Structure 1
Amino acid sequence: MSFNTISVIGLGYIGLPTAAMFASRKKKVIGVDVNQHAVDTINRGEIHIVEPDLDMIVHAAVTEGYLKAVLKPEPADAFLIAVPTPFKKSLNQDDIPEPDLTYIQKAAEAIAPVLKKGDLVILESTSPVGATEQMAEWLAAARPDLSFPSANSEATDEMVDVNVAHCPERVLPGHVVRELVENDRVIGGITAKCSARAVELYNTFVQGECVITNARTAEMAKLTENSCRDVQIAFANELSIICDKLDIDVWELISLANRHPRINILQPGPGVGGHCIAVDPWFIVSKTPEEAKLIHTARKVNDAKPEWVINKVKIAIADFLQANPEKTAKDVTIACYGLAFKPDIDDLRESPALNITKKIAKMHSGRIIAVEPNIKALPIIAAEIELQKLGNAINIADIHLLLVDHVMFKANRPEKGVIIDTKGIW
């Protein structure tokens, strides 16, 4: 069965590019989002996020009538769910956050009324192991008149009305359009037919290989990729703390160590952010807390790095006041360069840079300014922070805190004031 109409639930950093890629292949795409602003923006042929080349693709797709955005799901042949999967604070004794599948459940319940026999439902959201099977159960509960696949059922593919699979995104912000097309995709159907139909759908635009496995392994594959990165970053972050104590330049050290043909140490930073690397390892730890010791420790190391940075700022304030005894803390202006969770994007989700800046604003009685070239306004949660242009910040601030290595920062090192460089570019 061909897929004439495709629905994408969640039009964020993954959902919108995915919807646009299907639409660019002349497929009718219905994007669904609860955000009225996002829906209105897309229907004007514009985008509400920063992602290179995406604006042109969306504009063409909307203008040609292949893409529209709505607030409620409409009938389609395939449904891709790309909603957030955050974690909630756990009350267990180990203080391990637990996955919050509320958004997935609400998305499943929203599409259930418009499902029909022959449809395909794919969970793209990065999820804990078992989430795809749980989604199928929610769908089955909402539509008892239809049959859904189950890992524990003896029902054959011929007895299943709606196919269900998991296909995690594996793209890098800033390169999403290209990587959606070129990267391999891991396809994990609950049954073999579910996988085959998902491969058929993604072959619409994916040029990479669609590798088939089961749903649980597909879920674990994405978690494994991000947990591996988290462990590697934790090593670099821990190394930076050690080097600071031993009065060693960590950037030079890593550069020297990486000259070994089998060594590739990553670069340290102020912490780990985004909705993947900072979140996904907890999905593994929450399921297997006794076994995931290294992954758990890496999370603790990376989560502790922002406080280490804040302590460096406190020391810098004290040193500045000692050198300028006529001034008080209220006279000290701090500029924080970068609020996004990684360079040259506008994504603030789980951003250590934003959280560090907010905490400094709360603890410091003086002026706090931020430079973030990829956003036009600060979120409400950071209202006490003053957004400034780069040139103004360089001239105004007494303490310069570099948090994100945006391209425009690299050639604009402040000539005066105290510099705290967490990315090694100044």
Structure 2
Amino acid sequence: MSFEIISVIGLGYIGLPTAAMFASCKKKVIGVDVNQHAVDTINRGEIHIVEPDLDMLVHAAVTEGYLKAVLVPEPADAFLIAVPTPFKPCEEDAIPEPDLSYIESACKNIASVLKKGDLVILESTSPVGATEQVAKWLADARPDLSFPQVAGDDADVNVAHCPERVLPGHIVRELVENDRVIGGMSARCSERSVELYKIFVQGDCVITNARTAEMAKLTENSCRDVQIAFANELSIICDKLDIDVWELIALANRHPRINILQPGPGVGGHCIAVDPWFIVSKTPEEAKLIHTARLVNDSKPEWVIDKVKLAIADYLQLNPTQTTKDVTVACYGLAFKPDIDDLRESPALSITKKIAEIHSGFIIAVEPNIQTLPISLTNVELVSTKFANAEADIHVLLVDHVEFISTVKPNGIVIDTKGIW
């Protein structure tokens, strides 16, 4: 069965590029989102996020009539769920648990328009067992249809998991080129999912079961998290021992079998800072190393804040006629990684917010990829790199945006968490 109409539920950093890719292959795509602004922006042929080349794809798709955005799901042949999976509220120091309410809501919303022969794919990064839960929610809402947990290959509606595995800033290219892990709840579910993705995916579509597909994405990001934790812990050790960690890593990496990553102010984003907790929450007694890595990376922002406090004290000692209110602190970068506008789980953002809470002086932020500051940042002014370089007394480099790499190291006290100044 061919797929003539494809629906993508959630038009964020993954959903919108995915919708645009299907539309670029002349498939009719219906994008669904609860955000009226996002829907209106897309229907004008514009985008509400920053991602290279995506604006041209969306403009062409909308202009040619292959892509439209709506608030309420409409009938389609395939439904891809790409909604957030945040954490449930929890006590400090407790193990965060995933909140699947967005996925549940998406399932309930599409259930009314499902028909025999449809395919539902969960793309949202999810804990093990989430795809089975999706099938259960759909079955509960539509008892008139059969699903693979009961009917297997003969199910009226096929269900599978296919996690996204793309790098922000390179999403358009990687959606096409990267291999996809496809975990169907039956062989038929996997087979039809491969057929769907092969509309635009040039990489291999590797078939497994749903639980293994879910765990594959969590494993990839947990591995990365552990590697970053090693680098971050090493930077703290080197600071105490008066060793240049950047030189040390460069020397160690000259060994043919060593590849240490670069340290930073912490770990952010919607994947690496989140996904390991999905494993830890399911298997807290077994996931000791993964848990420790999370604690190391989550504690790094506090270490940076302590460095800022010491820098303010050093500045006041050098300038005894001034008070704390006279000290201007500039934070360079708010995104969770270079050259994007994505602030989700960003350690740079949390560090800037904390500095604004504890410092009574002027706080300025430089983030070239956004136009306005998030409402969570109070008592902070968004300025240009040039202004910050000239006006700040303490310069805190948090993200290695290309604009900062080409900037001469500013005068004053510099705290460089990325090793570029």
TM-score range normalised by the length of the shorter chain: over 0.9
Distance 2:305 2:55 in 1: 37
- How far off its partner does 1:249 sit? 0.1
Q: Percent identity, aligned pairs only?
A: 82
Deviations, residues 241-288 of structure 1 (Å, cap 9, x unaligned): 000000000000000000000000000000000000000000000000
Match of 2:153 in 1: 157
Counterpart of 2:166 in 1: which secondary structure? coil
8 Å Cα contact 2:5/2:30 also seen in 1: yes
Match of 2:65 in 1: 65
Match of 1:385 in 2: 380
Asked if 1:52 is matched to 2:52, the reply is yes
- How far off its partner does 1:322 sit? 0.4
Unpaired segments ≥5 residues, structure 1: none
Distance 2:269 2:142 in 1: 35
Deviations, residues 342-370 of structure 1 (Å, cap 9, x unaligned): 00000000000000000000000000000
8 Å Cα contact 1:89/1:95 also seen in 2: no
Distance 2:320 2:147 in 1: 72
| Residue identity opposite 1:355 in structure 2 | S
Match of 1:223 in 2: 218
Distance 1:324 1:66 in 2: 63
Counterpart of 1:197 in 2: which secondary structure? helix
Say if 1:91 and 1:417 are closer, same or farther in 2 by CA, change over 3 A. closer
Deviations, residues 25-74 of structure 1 (Å, cap 9, x unaligned): 00000000001111011001010100000100100000000000001100
Distance 1:186 1:25 in 2: 21
Q: What TM-score do the two structures reach when normalised by structure 2?
A: 0.99
Unpaired segments ≥5 residues, structure 2: none
Distance 1:401 1:312 in 2: 9
8 Å Cα contact 2:395/2:410 also seen in 1: no
Asked if 1:398 is matched to 2:397, the reply is no
Alignment partner of 1:346 out of 341, 347, 350: 341
- How far off its partner does 1:385 sit? 1.3
Match of 1:6 in 2: 6
Counterpart of 1:41 in 2: which secondary structure? helix
Counterpart of 1:420 in 2: which secondary structure? strand
Alignment partner of 1:253 out of 248, 253, 264: 248
Distance 2:411 2:270 in 1: 36
Match of 1:108 in 2: 107
- How far off its partner does 1:384 sit? 2.3
| Matches for 1:235-250 after TM superposition, within 5 Å | 235-250=230-245
8 Å Cα contact 2:152/2:185 also seen in 1: no
Task: Report the RMSD for the aligned CA atoms in angstroms.
Answer: 0.9
Match of 1:15 in 2: 15
- How far off its partner does 1:91 sit? 4.9
Match of 1:174 in 2: 169
Match of 1:330 in 2: 325
Aligned residues: 421
Say if 1:149 and 1:156 are closer, same or farther in 2 by CA, change over 3 A. closer
| Matches for 1:201-212 after TM superposition, within 5 Å | 201-212=196-207
Counterpart of 2:354 in 1: which secondary structure? helix
Counterpart of 1:106 in 2: which secondary structure? helix
Distance 1:407 1:164 in 2: 42
Distance 2:364 2:371 in 1: 14
8 Å Cα contact 1:129/1:220 also seen in 2: yes
- How far off its partner does 1:87 sit? 1.2
Asked if 1:196 is matched to 2:196, the reply is no
Say if 1:343 and 1:37 are closer, same or farther in 2 by CA, change over 3 A. same
8 Å Cα contact 1:89/1:96 also seen in 2: no
8 Å Cα contact 1:88/1:97 also seen in 2: yes
Deviations, residues 79-122 of structure 1 (Å, cap 9, x unaligned): 00000001124359x71000100100000011000000100000
- How far off its partner does 1:156 sit? 3.7
Match of 1:76 in 2: 76
- Detail structure 1 runs of 4+ shifted over 4 Å in the superposition: none
Counterpart of 2:272 in 1: which secondary structure? coil
Match of 2:90 in 1: 90
Q: What TM-score do the two structures reach when normalised by structure 1?
A: 0.98
Distance 1:280 1:71 in 2: 28
8 Å Cα contact 1:181/1:207 also seen in 2: yes
Deviations, residues 317-343 of structure 1 (Å, cap 9, x unaligned): 000000000000000000000000000
Counterpart of 1:340 in 2: which secondary structure? coil
| Residue identity opposite 2:112 in structure 1 | P
- How far off its partner does 1:416 sit? 1.3
8 Å Cα contact 1:51/1:174 also seen in 2: yes
Match of 1:40 in 2: 40
